[in-house]
C-alpha cells in the first residue's frame, strides 16, 4: 500500500499538524519508503496468532477507587502558556 | 592528585565511605570537566551546578555521620526525558519549551533517595526518536570517539546519545537513559560504555516522557558492568503509580558479578548474521563466544526465525503508540503555543512549529496505521507478528538456553549527515529492537574496536527478570575485553 499527497494531507489534518504543499510532497515520499519497508510483514503467516497485548504475563493491577491525590490546581496550570484563575485559556470555541 | 573523574562508581563509593574524598570534591571535579569539555560535545543541554553542589553538601553531611544510601554522593547525568522537579524537562523538543515539572519521575526520585547527585540534563533525540542524536532541538551530540588519525566528528548513537557521550567523556559517573528500540544499547556500543535495558516493567515509567508505552524502559549507561548493576538496583522499583510496573522485589544485582558462568547455556542466533556486516563485527562476535566458552559456558546454535520482521513490526507499533502519546502536546497545558484563527488552527500551528521532522513522520505514520480501514492491515498484524517474535525467544528459553549473545549493532559509529534515509537509519536498531518487542532484558558491553579504532559492543539477551545472568556474563566479557577510553582530543 502507498499513500498519495492528499492522504498525507488528510492524515496530517487528523494528527493536527499543519503541513505546506511542499512538506506534504516530501513526506509522501518518506512515508511511502517506510510503508514499503513494513510491507514485508505480508510474508508472515499470522493465521491463528493472537495479537500481543502485554509482554509481561501479569493481571492488570487495580487500585481502590478512592482519592489519593489532588488540590493541586496551581501545579497543574503552572506550565500552561495561558491560564487565568487556575483555568486553561484557549481560543474561543463557542460562538 | 588523581583525577577524580577517572573513578568508577564502585571505587568512588569506597573512597566516599572511607572519607578519603568528599562528594563536594567529586562533584566539583565533574562540574569543572563539564565546563571545559561540554562545549565540544553538547552532551548536557542544561547543567545544574547549584543543585549539584547543594546535593553534594547534603551527601557529605550524611557521610560524615556514617549514614547514606547506596549512591551517596555519586554525581550522575539525567536524560532530558525524565521529569525533574523545577528543572528543564523537554525531551529535547521545541514543543515543551520552558516546561519545568512540579513533580519528580519515580526513577530519578529513587536515585536521589539513595543519595545520588544531579549534575544536569542530557541531550537526546527529540522524544527519543532517533539513532544518532541528530533530531534533538538542542543540536547534535558529538561522539567523544574519533576514527584513528581522523578529525571527523561522529554521532554517539541515539536516542540516549547525550547519556552515552557524557559517560564516555567522563562528564558524569553514570547516566540515566531509556530504550524503546535500542536507545540505551546502541549509543553504549558506539561510545565504549555499558548500557542495560531491563525487562519491561522493572523500572517505573511514571514521570518519564512517553514515546511508545509498551516498549519504553529506563536503564543506566555506565563505565563498567558493576557500575551499571549498582545504578539499576537504585533505578528499579515496584511503583503503584505505573500499572505496568511488576510486583517483584529488586535483587541486589551486584551480587551476580563474579559468579561463575560455568554450565550456563548461551544461544547464538543464526539470524543475527546479516549481509554486509563488517568483518570486525563478526570477528568480535566469535571472540565473545570464545571468551564465554573459556569461562565454562556452553555454546549452542539457535534459530529465532522472526528476527527480520521485528524492525518492520516496530515501525508500526512504536509510531502508533507515539501518535497517541504525543496527542497531548496541544499548546494548551504546557510548552509552546502558536496563535491561530481558531482552536484547531492553534493546535495545527503549534504542532507544526513544535515538532521536528522525524517526530512528524512518526506521528503521521502512527495516525495512518491506526486510521479507519488500515488498523487491521497494519497495527493488528504487527501485534500478531510481535507475538511470534516473543514466541521465538520463549522457545529458546524452553530449550534450556540461559542467555543469547549477539553483536549490539551491525556497524560502528557513523558521521553526522551520513545517513539521511529514515529506513536506513532505522536499520541501526536491527539487533536491539527484537528485545523491546519481546519485553526482555538486554545489555551491551564494549568488547573491541573496529578496523578504524571505534568501539563495538556485544549484546546479551536474557530471560524476563533475569538481569542478574546478564551482569554475570557481561562481567566475563568485560574481564576478557578490557575497558575502552577515547583519546581526549578536546584537551589538546
Across the interface, do B335 and A27 touch by the CB < 8 Å criterion?
no
Q: Which CATH code of 1.25.40, 1.10.3470, 3.40.50, 1.10.20 fits the domain covering A5-42? A: 1.10.20
Tell me the chain B residues in contact with residue A49 when contact means C-beta distances shorter than 8 Å.
384, 387-388
Please report, in tens digits, the pLDDT of each residue of chain B (492 residues total).
469 999 999 999 999 999 999 999 999 999 999 999 999 999 999 999 999 999 999 999 999 999 999 999 999 999 999 999 999 999 999 999 999 999 999 999 999 999 999 999 999 999 999 999 999 999 999 999 999 999 999 999 999 999 999 999 999 999 999 999 999 999 999 999 999 999 999 999 999 999 999 999 999 999 999 999 999 999 999 999 999 999 999 999 999 999 999 999 999 999 999 888 899 999 999 999 999 999 999 999 999 999 999 999 999 999 999 999 999 999 999 999 999 999 999 999 999 999 999 999 999 999 999 998 899 999 999 999 999 999 999 999 999 999 999 999 999 999 999 999 988 899 989 999 999 999 999 999 999 999 999 999 999 999 999 999 999 999 999 999 999 999 999 987
**Which of B321, B326, B351, B368 to mutate to test binding with chain A, by most A CBs within 10 Å of its CB?**
B368
Q: Say whether A18 and B386 touch across the interface (CB within 8 A).
A: no
Helix axes B357-370, B310-325, angle to 10 degrees: 100
Longest dimension (CA), chain A: 57
SS3 A43: helix
The distance of A17 to chain B (nearest Cα, Å) reads 4
DSSP A30: H
Q: Is B79 a catalytic residue?
A: yes
Q: Is A1 helix (H, G, I), strand (E, B) or coil?
A: coil
Give the minimum alpha-carbon distance from B309 to chain A in angstroms, rounded to a whole number.
Answer: 6
SS3 A91: coil
Where is pLDDT greater, at A43 or A59?
A: A43
B56 in Cβ contact with B73 (< 8 Å):
yes
Strands B117-122 and B75-79: parallel
Query: Are A81 and B331 inside 8 Å of each other by CB?
Result: yes
Residue B342, C-alpha cell as written in the block: 481558531
Residue with cell 536491527: B430
pLDDT of amino acid B39? 98
Residues of chain A found within 8 Å of residue B101, distances taken between Cβ atoms: 79
What's the gap in Å between the CA of B367 and the closest CA on chain A? 6
Instruction: Return the SS3 of A22.
Output: helix
| Distance, CA of B433 to CA of B484 (rounded, Å) | 25
User: How far separated are the first and last CA of chain A, in Å rounded?
Assistant: 42
Predicted local confidence at residue B2, as pLDDT: 63
- Comparing CA positions, the residue from B426, B443, B441, B13 lying closest to residue B203 is B441
Q: What is the pLDDT of residue B1?
A: 47
C-alpha cell at B164: 552515552
Check if B376 contacts A (Cβ < 8 Å): no
From B105, B183, B234, B237, the catalytic residue: B183
- Whole-number Å distance between alpha carbons of B154 and B412: 10
Cα–Cα distances (Å) from B489 to B139, B147, B431, B451, in that order, read: 21, 11, 31, 20
List the beta bridge partners of residue B265.
B298
Interface of A with B in 56-95 (CB under 8 A): 56, 58, 60-61, 63, 72, 75, 78-82, 88, 90-93
Q: Across the interface, do A79 and B101 touch by the CB < 8 Å criterion?
A: yes
| Residues B134 and B140 sit within 8 Å (Cβ to Cβ) | yes
Q: What share of chain A is helix, strand, coil (3-state, %, to 5)?
A: 40, 5, 55
CA–CA separation, B71 vs B56, rounded Å?
A: 11
Q: How many residues does chain A have?
A: 95
- Has B183 been annotated as catalytic? yes
Q: How far apart are CA B46 and CA B122, in angstroms?
A: 7
Q: What does the domain layout of chain B look like in residue ranges? A: 4-263
Kindly name the residue from B22, B23, B93, B159 that is annotated as catalytic. B159
Indicate the residue of A31, A44, A61 with minimum beta-carbon distance to B361.
A31
Element (H, E) at A77: helix A73-77
Rounded Cα–Cα distance for residues B32 and A5 (Å): 52
Cell of B476: 566475563
Phi-psi region of B40 (alpha: psi -120 to 50; beta: other; left: phi over 0): alpha
Q: For residues B452 and B278, give the distance between their C-alpha atoms in angstroms, rounded to a whole number.
A: 12
Asked: is B4-263 a CATH 3.30.565.10 domain? The reply is no
B interface test, pick of A16, A66, A87, A92 with most B CB neighbours within 10 Å: A16
DSSP state of A84: E
Do you know the residue count of chain B? 492
Closest partner CB to A40 (pick from B101, B312, B360): B312
Contact predicate B21/B60, CB 8 Å: no
**B440 near B461, Cβ under 8 Å?**
yes
**Residue from the list B335, B349, B438 with its beta carbon closest to the beta carbon of A55:** B438
* Element housing A44 (H / E): none
pLDDT of residue A57: 81
In this complex, the residue of B200, B378, B382 whose CB is nearest that of residue A56 is B200
Tell me the C-alpha distance between B436 and B179, whole Å.
Answer: 8
Alpha carbon B294 to its chain centroid, in Å, reads 29
Of the candidates B79, B197, B233, B463, the residue annotated as catalytic is B79
> Where do the structural domains in chain A lie, given as residue ranges?
5-42
- What ipTM was predicted for this assembly? 0.96
C-alpha cell of residue B230: 549498582
B206 at the A interface (CB within 8 A)? no
The answer to whether residue B159 is catalytic is yes
Amino acid at each position: 500500500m502507498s499513500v498519495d499527497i492528499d492522504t498525507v494531507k488528510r492524515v496530517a489534518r487528523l494528527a493536527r499538524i499543519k503541513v505546506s504543499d511542499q512538506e506534504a510532497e516530501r513526506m509522501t515520499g518518506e512515508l511511502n519508503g517506510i510503508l514499503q519497508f513494513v510491507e514485508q510483514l505480508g510474508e508472515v503467516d499470522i493465521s491463528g496468532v493472537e495479537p500481543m497485548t502485554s509482554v509481561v504475563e501479569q493481571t492488570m493491577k487495580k487500585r481502590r477507587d478512592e482519592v489519593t491525590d489532588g488540590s493541586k490546581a496551581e501545579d497543574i496550570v503552572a506550565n500552561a502558556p495561558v491560564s487565568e484563575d487556575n483555568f486553561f485559556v484557549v481560543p474561543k470555541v463557542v460562538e | 592528585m588523581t583525577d577524580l573523574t577517572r573513578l568508577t562508581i564502585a571505587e568512588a563509593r569506597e573512597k566516599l565511605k572511607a572519607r578519603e574524598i568528599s562528594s563536594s570534591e567529586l562533584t566539583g571535579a565533574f562540574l569543572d570537566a563539564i565546563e571545559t569539555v561540554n562545549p565540544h560535545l553538547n552532551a548536557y543541554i542544561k547543567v545544574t551546578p547549584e543543585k549539584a553542589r547543594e546535593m553534594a553538601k547534603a551527601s557529605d553531611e550524611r557521610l560524615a555521620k556514617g549514614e547514606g544510601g547506596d549512591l551517596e554522593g555519586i554525581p550522575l547525568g539525567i536524560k532530558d526525558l525524565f521529569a525533574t522537579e523545577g528543572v528543564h524537562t523537554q525531551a529535547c523538543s521545541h514543543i515543551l519549551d520552558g516546561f519545568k515539572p512540579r513533580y519528580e519521575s519515580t526513577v530519578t526520585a529513587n536515585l536521589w533517595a539513595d543519595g545520588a547527585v544531579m549534575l544536569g540534563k542530557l541531550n537526546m533525540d527529540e522524544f527519543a526518536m532517533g539513532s544518532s542524536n541528530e533530531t534533538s532541538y538542542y543540536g547534535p551530540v558529538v561522539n567523544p570517539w574519533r576514527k584513528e588519525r581522523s578529525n571527523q566528528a561522529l554521532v554517539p548513537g541515539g536516542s540516549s546519545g547525550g547519556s552515552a557521550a557524557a559517560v564516555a567523556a567522563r562528564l558524569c559517573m553514570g547516566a540515566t537513559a531509556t530504550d524503546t528500540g535500542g536507545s540505551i544499547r546502541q549509543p553504549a556500543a558506539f561510545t565504549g560504555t555499558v548500557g542495560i535495558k531491563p525487562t519491561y516493567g522493572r523500572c517505573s515509567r511514571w514521570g518519564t516522557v512517553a514515546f511508545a508505552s509498551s516498549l519504553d524502559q529506563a536503564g543506566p549507561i555506565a563505565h563498567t558492568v558493576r557500575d551499571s548493576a549498582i545504578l539499576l538496583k537504585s533505578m528499579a522499583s515496584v511503583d503503584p503509580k505505573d500499572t505496568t510496573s511488576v510486583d517483584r522485589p529488586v535483587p541486589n544485582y551486584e551480587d551476580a558479578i563474579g559468579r561463575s558462568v560455568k554450565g550456563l547455556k548461551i544461544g547464538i542466533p543464526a539470524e543475527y548474521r546479516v549481509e554486509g556486516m563488517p568483518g570486525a563485527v563478526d570477528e568480535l562476535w566469535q571472540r565473545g563466544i570464545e571468551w564465554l566458552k573459556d569461562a565454562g559456558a556452553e555454546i549452542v546454535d539457535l534459530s529465532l526465525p522472526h528476527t527480520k520482521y521485528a524492525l518492520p513490526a516496530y515501525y508500526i507499533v512504536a509510531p502508533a503508540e507515539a501518535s497517541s502519546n504525543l496527542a497531548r502536546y496541544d499548546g494548551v497545558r504546557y510548552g509552546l503555543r502558536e496563535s491561530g484563527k481558531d482552536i484547531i488552527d492553534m493546535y495545527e500551528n503549534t504542532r507544526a512549529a513544535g515538532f521536528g521532522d522525524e517526530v512528524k513522520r512518526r506521528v503521521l505514520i502512527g495516525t495512518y496505521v491506526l486510521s479507519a480501514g488500515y488498523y487491521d492491515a497494519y497495527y493488528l498484524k504487527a501485534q500478531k507478528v510481535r507475538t511470534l517474535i516473543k514466541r521465538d525467544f520463549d522457545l529458546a528459553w524452553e530449550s534450556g538456553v540461559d542467555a543469547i549473545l549477539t553483536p549490539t549493532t551491525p556497524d560502528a559509529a557513523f558521521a553526522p549527515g551520513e545517513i539521511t534515509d529514515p529506513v536506513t537509519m532505522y536499520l541501526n536498531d536491527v539487533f536491539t529492537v527484537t528485545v523491546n518487542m519481546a519485553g526482555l532484558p538486554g545489555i551491551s558491553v564494549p568488547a573491541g574496536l573496529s578496523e578504524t579504532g571505534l568501539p563495538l559492543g556485544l549484546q546479551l539477551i536474557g530471560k524476563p527478570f533475569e538481569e542478574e545472568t546478564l551482569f554475570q556474563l557481561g562481567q566475563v566479557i568485560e574481564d576478557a575485553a578490557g575497558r575502552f577510553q577515547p583519546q581526549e582530543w578536546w584537551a589538546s
